C-alpha cells in the first residue's frame, strides 16, 4: 500500500526564526501520528536550522527547488547534494509558480528531478493545468505532456524515488479546491499514464499528491479518493494547527 504523504510548501514565507518556531510548534501536534510521511519545505536560508529543530522527530525536510549540476560556475544555484548536506530528504520540482515566473519547462523539470534522485533525494514533481487550459478541454493533454516530459528517461527504479503532485493552477491560493471527483479524475489519468510508460507495478507504487487550497475541512474527502495519496499544502501549512489537522486527516 502507498504511504500517504502530506507536504507543506512554505513558499516565500518565514524568516529562520519563524520557520524554526513553526516546526517546534508542529512537532508535538504530530508526534503520535503514524502511517503518514510528513514533510515541510521552508526557504533555502532556513533549511539547515529547521533541520536541526526537527531532529529526532517524524517530520522530514524538503527544499522548494534545486539545480541539476553538482557544482561549478552557476551563480545563485543550489545543487541537490547541498540540499542533502542541509538535511533535506525531499525536494519540490517544477512547481507551477516556477514554471510561470521562472521559465521552468518540462525539460528543466526532467533534469532537476533526475539530478535530485541521483543525489538520494525524493523528487516531488509538480504538474497542473491553468484555468484557460481546463476551459479549453486541454487538461488531460497538458497533464500528459508534463508527466511524459518530466519523467522522460526515468528507470522504473528511479521512479520509486519520485512523487507526482497534481496542482491545478486555478486552485492554488484561490480557495477554489478541485472537487473530490475532479481531482480523482486527473489522478486516475496520471496513474494510467505512469502504467503506460513504466508498467502497472510502477503505477501502483507511485504516490500522487493533490495540491490547491487543501484545508482541514476538505482534506478528508480528497484523501478518500482511490488515486489521491497525499497533499501538497500551501497557505494552510503556514500555521501549526491547520497543518497538523491536515496531517491528522485520518484521526
* Nearer residue to ligand 13P within complex by CB, 116 or 203: 116
Which residue lies nearer to ligand 13P by CB, 1 or 12?
12
Q: How many other CB atoms are found less than 10 A from the CB of residue 238?
A: 17
| Minimum CB distance to ligand 13P, residue 63 (Å) | 13
**Three-point CA angle 213, 214, 218, nearest 5°:** 120
* Nearer to ligand 13P among residue 36 and residue 202 (C-beta): 36
The residue number whose beta carbon is nearest to ligand 13P equals: 234
- Based on the residue annotation, tell me whether 95 is a catalytic residue of this protein: yes
How is 90-117 classified by DSSP, letter by letter? EEEES-HHHHHHS---HHHHHHHHHHHH
Nearer to ligand 13P by Cβ, of 120 and 173: the residue is 173
| Catalytic hit among 60, 95, 104, 129 | 95
Integer angstrom CA distances of residue 86 from 59, 72, 112, 186: 15, 18, 18, 34
Instruction: Give me the least distance between CB of 176 and ligand 13P, in Å please.
Output: 9
Q: Which residues bind ligand 13P (CB under 6 A)?
A: 9, 95, 167, 172-173, 211-214, 232-236
How near is the Cβ of 71 to ligand 13P at its closest, in Å?
Answer: 28
CA angle 162, 9, 185 (to 5 degrees): 60
Most distant pair of Cα atoms in the chain: their distance: 49
Residue 60 known to be catalytic: no
Query: At its nearest, how many Å lie between ligand 13P and the CB of residue 39?
Result: 11
| Residues facing 60 on adjacent strands | 39
Q: Which residues are catalytic?
A: 95, 167
Amino acid at each position: 500500500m502507498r504511504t500517504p504523504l502530506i507536504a507543506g510548501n512554505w513558499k516565500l514565507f518565514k524568516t529562520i526564526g519563524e520557520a524554526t518556531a513553526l516546526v517546534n510548534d508542529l512537532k508535538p501536534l504530530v508526534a503520535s501520528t503514524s502511517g503518514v510521511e510528513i514533510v515541510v519545505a521552508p526557504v533555502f536560508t532556513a533549511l539547515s536550522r529547521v533541520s536541526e529543530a526537527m531532529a529526532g522527530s517524524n517530520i522530514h525536510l524538503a527544499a522548494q527547488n534545486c539545480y541539476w549540476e553538482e557544482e561549478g560556475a552557476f551563480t545563485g544555484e543550489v545543487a541537490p547534494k547541498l540540499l542533502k548536506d542541509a538535511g533535506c530528504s525531499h525536494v519540490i520540482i517544477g512547481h507551477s509558480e516556477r514554471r510561470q515566473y521562472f521559465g521552468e519547462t518540462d525539460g528543466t523539470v526532467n533534469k532537476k528531478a533526475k539530478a535530485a534522485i541521483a543525489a538520494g533525494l525524493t523528487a516531488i514533481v509538480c504538474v497542473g493545468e491553468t484555468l484557460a487550459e481546463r476551459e479549453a478541454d486541454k487538461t488531460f493533454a497538458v497533464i500528459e505532456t508534463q508527466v511524459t516530459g518530466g519523467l522522460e528517461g526515468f528507470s522504473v527504479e528511479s521512479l520509486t524515488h519520485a512523487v507526482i503532485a497534481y496542482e491545478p493552477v486555478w486552485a492554488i491560493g484561490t480557495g477554489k479546491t478541485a472537487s473530490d471527483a475532479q481531482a480523482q479524475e486527473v489522478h486516475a489519468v496520471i496513474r494510467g499514464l505512469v502504467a503506460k510508460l513504466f508498467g502497472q507495478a510502477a503505477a501502483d507504487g507511485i504516490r500522487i499528491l493533490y495540491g490547491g487550497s487543501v484545508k482541514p475541512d476538505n482534506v478528508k474527502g480528497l484523501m478518500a479518493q482511490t488515486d489521491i495519496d497525499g497533499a501538497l499544502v500551501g497557505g494552510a501549512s503556514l500555521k501549526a494547527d491547520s497543518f497538523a489537522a491536515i496531517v491528522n486527516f485520518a484521526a
